[in-house]
Amino acid sequence: MPFTGFNLSYPEYEVTTPHTKLTFNVRSLNVSEEEKMKGSLVSPNKITEHLNKCIYETLVKKPAAIKDFEAFLKTCTLKDRDALLYGLYHITYEEVRNYDITCSTCGKQYPVTIQASDTFNFNVFPHKDILKKEYKIALPVSKGITAVIKQPSLWDEMTAIKNLSSRPGSSIELITETLILDRFEQEIEGDKKAKIYKERVDLLDAYLTLPARDKRVIHKTYQDELGKYGVDLKMKSFCPHCSAEEDVDIDLVSQFFRMVYSA
Ligand SMILES: [Zn+2]
């Protein structure tokens, strides 16, 4: 007889996002979705887009305000996506298999297998409206220049990748790294009004000219105010070669793709 569908209900997992504090239910990926994800690995520019779509399609329960994909992208942050991805990973694969660790004491590699839930840490943003917050940093080396940073949404990320990734010299890493910049303000002597740089292209060019110390202050401020809130997968492991203890931070995105690819 022709296949008319199993009428399955997939396993679900509830996720609260650490930045925007919204509650979602994600369901397990199915085989066809895994195959689609594999296809996205071919073009690095498309990975983020595929990942967002894939997560969105597995949301079986979401806040009423999120009516479509665009609203989802505008509401959630990159750290929120990490949490959703964790939920999706947990409900689809359960464990992290053959994760390779390089011992920092003896330099040898060894694989570990762990339950994703055993390594899970959740640190929630303690204030409201994370997407509206701004932090002004007077750069310590570049006198008279203020960097204003904010928490980017998935929409900001997608737009930046779309507009900038074909531009010579702008890698995905650089685009991602500069997403937290909202604008630079430069005071001009004798001028009452500061010069403001807000376009992403200008922000990227300006960022590349900064002294290294200014760059570090920008990222440290982001980490202290916003970046430390989120989910992470942390574990302790012991090297079988020299028995040194290792604190391991599992990179969820690359692990996710590794699992999809080996499934
Ligand atoms: Zn070792």
CA atoms within 13 A on the CB side of 97: 11
- Per-residue pLDDT of 16-51, as tens digits, reads 999 999 999 999 999 988 888 887 776 767 788 888
Per-residue confidence (pLDDT) for residue 235, from 0 to 100: 84
The least confident of 198-207, 214-223, 224-233, 247-256 is 247-256
Q: What are phi and psi of 84, to 5 degrees?
A: -65, -40
Per-residue confidence (pLDDT) for residue 34, from 0 to 100: 86
How far, in Å, is the centroid of ligand 1 from the Cα of 108?
Answer: 6
How far, in Å, is the centroid of ligand 1 from the Cα of 236?
Answer: 13
- Per-residue pLDDT of 66-89, as tens digits, reads 999 999 999 999 999 999 999 998
How far, in Å, is the centroid of ligand 1 from the Cα of 99?
Answer: 15
How far, in Å, is the centroid of ligand 1 from the Cα of 246?
Answer: 9
Q: What are phi and psi of 98, to 5 degrees?
A: 45, 50
Query: Nearest-CA neighbor of 173 among 182, 181, 163, 165?
Result: 165
Of the ranges 83-92, 149-158, 187-196, which is most confident? 149-158
How far, in Å, is the centroid of ligand 1 from the Cα of 94?
Answer: 27
How far, in Å, is the centroid of ligand 1 from the Cα of 187?
Answer: 52
How far, in Å, is the centroid of ligand 1 from the Cα of 250?
Answer: 18
d(CA 124, CA 129) in angstroms, rounded, equals: 13
How far, in Å, is the centroid of ligand 1 from the Cα of 112?
Answer: 13
List, as one string, the DSSP characters of 120-136: EEEE---SS-GGG--EE
Among all chains, which residue has been given the structure tokens 């990179």?
Answer: 251
How far, in Å, is the centroid of ligand 1 from the Cα of 130?
Answer: 41
Decide which of 250 and 207 is more confident.
Answer: 207
How far, in Å, is the centroid of ligand 1 from the Cα of 241?
Answer: 5
d(CA 174, CA 216) in angstroms, rounded, equals: 14
Answer whether 125's CB lies under 8 Å from 226's CB.
Answer: yes
Answer whether 89's CB lies under 8 Å from 259's CB.
Answer: yes
Q: What are phi and psi of 120, to 5 degrees?
A: -75, 125
Plot region of 35 (φ>0 → left; ψ -120 to 50 → alpha; else → beta): alpha
**Average pLDDT of the chain?**
91
Contacts 24+ apart (CB under 8 A), 188-194: 188/144, 194/146
Query: Nearest-CA neighbor of 25 among 54, 58, 68, 67?
Result: 58
Longest dimension (CA), the chain: 83
